[in-house]
Structure 1
Amino acid sequence: MAEEKYDAVIVGGGFGGIYHLIHLRKLGLNCKLIEAGSDFGGTWYWNRYPGARVDSDIPIYEFSLPELWKGWTWTERFPGWKELQAYFAYVGDKLDLRKHCRFDSTVKSAHWDDDLHIWHVTSDGKEGLYKASGRHLIVCTGFASKPYIPELKGLGTFQGPCVHTGRWPKEGIETTGKKVGIIGTGASGVQVIQEIGPHAQHLTIFQRTPNLALAMGQYSVNEQVQAHFRPVYEQIYQKLPTTFGGLQFDFIHRPAMGDTAEQREAVFQELWSLGGFQFWLGNYEDIIIDKACNDEVYAFWRKKVCERVKDPKKRELLAPLVPPHPFGCKRPCLEQYFYEIFNQDNVDLVDINASPILEITPKGVRTTKEEYEFDVLVLATGFDTYVGGFTQMDLRGLNGQTIRDHWEDGVTTYLGMTTDNFPNLYFVYGPQGPTAFCNGPTCVELQGSWIVSTIDYLRQNGITKFNPTVQAARAYKKHNNELSDATLLSKAKSWYMGANIPGKKLEAYNYTGGVARYKLEIAEEIERGYPGFERGAPNRSKL
C-alpha cells in the first residue's frame, strides 16, 4: 500500500497525543495520530476495571485550554473512568480532532530513514495494514501502557475468567456472588478490591508488599460549585508548573525536625484531613530525603490505618510496625474504603512472602500452605513502566539499532524527551521526566510545549535532522541519577526504579528534582540554542 506523508506522526491518543495534535495543527503542520484503541483516552480507554479513577483532583486533570474547560463540568472531585472517557470524547468533538486520527490501529514498527530524514511508520488493525511517514515521530504511549503478567506456572490452565486490570473487557466480568482471587495490591488492586469486596461471595487477596494508601477524600461536585471556582482556573493552571509535583499545592519548605513534635503532629493531621496527595507531596520537603522525617510520617499514617482495621493479623500485614519501605518511595494510591473491606468475614489476606504462590490451577491458586478455589482471577500485577510502550514496537534509529538494544544497559535520554541515536524522536510522560512525580496533564503540557516549540524552531531554520549528542545524554543521565541518589527512593523495590519487572535494569526512571526545576532546565536548553543537539539537512542527492 502507498505510504501517506506527514510532517509528524503521533503514537497514542491520550493527553500527550491530543496535546501535540492540537498544537502542531495550529502551527500548520500536517499530522497523523495513530491509536490502538477505538477512541481517544490513552490509558483511560483501557482502564475500565471496577473502581478505576484518577488520583489527581479537578480541575487539574484536564487540558488547560480555556475553550475546553469553560464548557466542561465534572461530577466528582476524583473522576472515574467513565467520566474520563466522556471528557476525551468531548475534547475530540469540540476540536474536531478525529479526522486526523487512525483508531483501532497498533503501531508495529517505526524506522528512521537517514537519507531522507524521515520516520517510516507501520501499523495494523481493523482496517488492515497502514503506512505513514513523518519528519518527526512523537511517542505518547504513556508510562504504563504495557501490562506486566508474571510467569506463574499453570496460568493458562485456569478455567474461569482471568484478566489483568489493564485489559478489563468492555462487557465487564460478573463478580457478584462469586469467589474472587486478586493477585497484587498496587493502585489498580486497591481500587478493584474496594469495589468487589462488598458484593463478592468471597474475596482472597494475595499481597507481597502493603500499599501505603492515602484517604482520597472523595466528594460530589456540581455545575454551581465549579462555576464559582472557574474565575481562578487560569491562576491554578499557571501555578502547577511552579510546584514540585505539578499540583495545586507544594511541599512545606522547612525541615520537619525544625518544628516541635506537637507542631509536626498538627501539620500531619491537617494534611490528612485534606485528603488526596496532600499528606505526601504537600508534606515537609525532606519527606523523601530525611529518614527521621519519613519515619514520623509513616508512624502517623500507620496510626490512622490501624484505627480502621479490626483484625490484628490483617492490621499488621496492611500496616506493619516496621515500615516495608520509606513512605512515598513506592507510589501510594488513593482509597475510599479499602481498609474497611478487611473487616468483612468474606475477605482473606494472604502474605505471599510467608506463603508463596506455587502455581495457578484449573480451579484457582496453590501456595506453599494452601490451595484456593476461585470463580474469577484478577491480576493486578502492574505494568512494564516507562520503557514498555517503546519496546513493544519495532523502533529503530540510526544504523537500524532498536530502542531495546539501545537501552539494554539502561535508559539514556536527553531532558526526558529525546534519546541519542534516534533523531527527530520525541516523547512525553516517559523515562527520566518528572512523570510519576507529576500530575499527568501538567507534565504533558510542560514537555509538549517544549517539543512543539522545538519542532517550530527546526522548521523555521530548515533543520531536518535533530539528534541529541551521546555526551549530552550521558550527562543528563548522570544528573538524573544524582538527583535520585539524594533521596530515599533507592531504598524501596518499586516500579519507580524498575524493580517490578524481573531482569529490568534498576535505575532512576524519574526526574526527582521537581517540576519547577525541570521547567527551568528544559527552558535553558532553548535559550542557549540547543547545545545538546546535533543538527543537519538531508543529502539532496538521495531525495
Structure 2
Amino acid sequence: MAPTTAKGVTPIPDYDAIIIGAGMSGLYQLYRLREQGLRVRVFEAGTNVGGTWYWNRYPGARFDSESYSYGYSFSKELLEEWDWSEHFAGQPETLRYLNHVADKFDLRRDIQFSSRVTAATFNEDSRGWTVTLEDGSSFDTRFLITAIGPLSTPTLPRIEGRDDFKGQSFHTARWPHEPVDFKGKRVAVIGTGATGVQTIQTIAGQVGHLTVFQRTPNWCAPLHNGKIDAETQKQIKAGYPEMFARCQETFACFLHTPDPRGAFEVSDKEREAFYEKLYGERGFGIWQGNFRDILTDRKANATISDFVARKIRQRVKNQAVAEKLIPRNHGFGTRRLPLETFYYEVYNRDNVDLVDITETPIERITAAGIKTSAREYEFDIIIYATGFDALTGAFDKIDFKGAGGARLKDKWKKGPETYLGIMVHEFPNMMMLMGPHTALGNIPRSIEYSVDWVTGLVRFAQANQLTRLEATPEGVESWTDHVKALGVGLLSNEVNSWMTGINSNVEGKQTRIIARYSGSAPAYRARCDEVAAKGYAELRLG
C-alpha cells in the first residue's frame, strides 16, 4: 500500500500509473509513460509479454494483417533492425518480436508477471485507484490504464460433461506451452471461426482422423501468404513512411480501403473480374478493398456472397459437404472474415469429417468423446475453437468499482457506454486502451493512436497539477449515441457475432448491442484530436 504523508495531505501512491496487461498496447503504453518520467507498473497474468500472441499458441495462429503493417511504427531503429520472414507472420515469430521489443526498450523491469488483477477500486479521498491481485496484494496508483484486449477472454461451450472427458482437451486460446502430439490421434475441433479455420487446416495432415463440429459456417477467403525475400525486405523498409501514412488514411488502418464504386456501377463481366482479382490477392483486399456498398446493400452483398459460394463449390469435391460450408444466415464480410490457406481442401481428405451440429446437436461430452443426437464419437483430443467473450468480457472478469461504489459490470449490463471508447463516467482517472467503442481495424495502428492520446491526457494532467479526470454523463451519452448511429444500415449489425456482443456461451449476452465503433479510423482520430486541442474541456477536470 502507499506510504502516508503528513496529516491532511493526499497520500503518495505507490505508482503514478498502473497498466493492466503486457500485450502490444500495454508494452507501448509503458514505453510512453516512462518517457514522461512517471513511476509505472504493469501487472500481467501470464509469465511473459505478448498478450494475444502469448496466449494463442494453437497450430496455425498467425496475422491476417500484413506483418509489416502490424508491427510498431514509433521507432525507426526498431523498423530497420527487425526482418519479418513472411507477409503474414505466425505466432512464434510475433511472440519473438514482442519479446525483442520488451528487451530492446528494457520494459521488463517495470512488469510484474504471473499477477492477475481481480479488482480495482477508486478512492475519492486519495483521487486514485487501489488495484488488487489474485494473491491478495494491492497497490495504489493515480492513473489506471487497462490494456486487456478486445479478444482476450476465451469462452467454452455450455455443453454438459466437459469435465468428464479422459483425453486431452483445451481451448485454442489456452493452448499448452509444450508441443501436442497429433500423430495417429483421433481429434475433434468444435468451432469454425477464425481460430478454428487456422487450426483445422494446419493439423489435418498430422492427425490420424479429424472430426470438425460446425454450428455456423463462415465465409473465408485465401490468405496467399509467402516468404519475404531479401529484395522485398529492402523495398518494405524503404517504403515504411509511405506505408504507415497510407494506414493512417484508410478506413480501418489496413493497407486496403473500399473501392469508391458501387457493385452495380460496373457491368456483370467487370464485377466478376474484380472479384477474381481480389480473390487472387493477398490479405483483406476482398473484404476491406471491395466495392463500397457490399457491407450496406443486400443486393450488392449477394453478388460477392454468390461469387465466394461458387469458389467453395469448386474447391470442395463432395457437394453435400460444400453446401454445409456455405453460410446461409449472413452475407460475405458481415462477420469478421477468416483468411485461409487450403482450408476448403481439407474436406477433400479421407481422414476428415464435417458434422453439422444444427442437424445433429452435441448432447454431451463423455469420458471417451462426444455424443450427438445421431451417434457417439470417440476421441483422444478435443479442441475448443469456441471464441471469446469479446470487447467487454475482459472487463467483466475484474471487479471495477468507481466513484460512489459504481460497478462497471452493472453500468454496462445493457451494453457499454463510453466516452471516445477510452473513458467511463464515474470511473475517474481510468483510461481504456482498445476498449468498447474505439476504432479497431488493424489493431496495432489503433493501439499506437490510443496510447499516444492517453499519454497526452496524462501529460496535460501532470502539467496542470490535475488529480481527477472524468468523463461527463453528457459526453458519454453523446459518444454512445454517435457510435450507435454509425451502426445504422450496416448489414453486420443484423448478424449475431462477437462484433455485436453476442455470445451464446455467456450468461446475459444473447442480445445484440453496438459494442464497436464502425466509422472510419480517420474520423475517430479527428474527433479525439479535437477534444485534445480544446484542452480536454469536455472532461470534468480537478
- Given candidates 361, 364, 370, the residue that maps to 1:365 is 370
What stretches of structure 1 of length at least 5 have no aligned partner?
Answer: 537-543
Partner of 2:60: 51
Q: TM-score, normalised by structure 2?
A: 0.95
Contact 2:2 2:14 in 1 (8 A): no
Say whether residues 1:253 and 2:260 are aligned partners: yes
Partner of 1:515: 521
Say whether residues 1:284 and 2:291 are aligned partners: yes
Partner of 1:540: none
CA positional deviation for 1:129: 4.8
Task: Write the letter of the residue equivalent to 2:397.
Answer: Q
- Given candidates 422, 425, 437, the residue that maps to 1:420 is 425
Say whether residues 1:456 and 2:459 are aligned partners: yes
Partner of 1:328: 333
Secondary structure (helix, strand or coil) at the match of 1:274 reads: coil
Q: Deviations over 1:184-240 (max 9, x none)?
A: 001111111011111211111110111211100010114442123211101211221
Report 1:306-325 matches (<5 A). 306-319=313-326, 323-325=328-330
Aligned sequence identity (%): 37
Q: TM-score, normalised by structure 1?
A: 0.95
Specify whether residues 91 and 208 from structure 1 end up closer, same or farther in structure 2 by C-alpha distance, changes over 3 A only.
Answer: same
Q: Deviations over 1:121-160 (max 9, x none)?
A: 1224xxx554322211110011111111122111110110
- Given candidates 160, 167, 170, the residue that maps to 2:167 is 160
Contact 2:43 2:111 in 1 (8 A): yes
Partner of 1:18: 27
Specify whether residues 295 and 355 from structure 1 end up closer, same or farther in structure 2 by C-alpha distance, changes over 3 A only.
Answer: same
Contact 1:325 1:492 in 2 (8 A): yes
Moved more, 509-518 or 251-260: 251-260
Query: Equivalents in 2 of 1:380, 1:19: separation in Å?
Result: 29
Contact 2:150 2:391 in 1 (8 A): yes
Moved more, 360-369 or 482-491: 482-491
Partner of 1:269: 276
Specify whether residues 60 and 299 from structure 1 end up closer, same or farther in structure 2 by C-alpha distance, changes over 3 A only.
Answer: same
- Given candidates 35, 38, 41, the residue that maps to 1:32 is 41
Partner of 1:384: 389
Query: Equivalents in 2 of 1:200, 1:345: separation in Å?
Result: 12
Query: Equivalents in 2 of 1:267, 1:252: separation in Å?
Result: 10
What stretches of structure 2 of length at least 5 have no aligned partner?
Answer: 4-12
Task: Write the letter of the residue equivalent to 2:268.
Answer: A
Partner of 1:541: none
Secondary structure (helix, strand or coil) at the match of 1:353 reads: coil
Partner of 2:82: 72
Task: Write the letter of the residue equivalent to 2:154.
Answer: P
Contact 1:184 1:206 in 2 (8 A): yes
Task: Write the letter of the residue equivalent to 1:387.
Answer: T
Partner of 1:294: 301
CA positional deviation for 1:2: 6.4
CA positional deviation for 1:274: 1.1
Contact 2:263 2:293 in 1 (8 A): yes
RMSD: 1.4
Partner of 2:8: none
Partner of 1:8: 17
Say whether residues 1:110 and 2:120 are aligned partners: yes
Task: Write the letter of the residue equivalent to 2:437.
Answer: Q
Say whether residues 1:439 and 2:445 are aligned partners: no
CA positional deviation for 1:261: 1.5
- Given candidates 339, 342, 354, the residue that maps to 2:344 is 339
Contact 2:295 2:491 in 1 (8 A): yes
CA positional deviation for 1:40: 1.1
- Given candidates 107, 110, 132, the residue that maps to 1:97 is 107
Report 1:462-481 matches (<5 A). 462-481=465-484
Contact 1:7 1:136 in 2 (8 A): yes
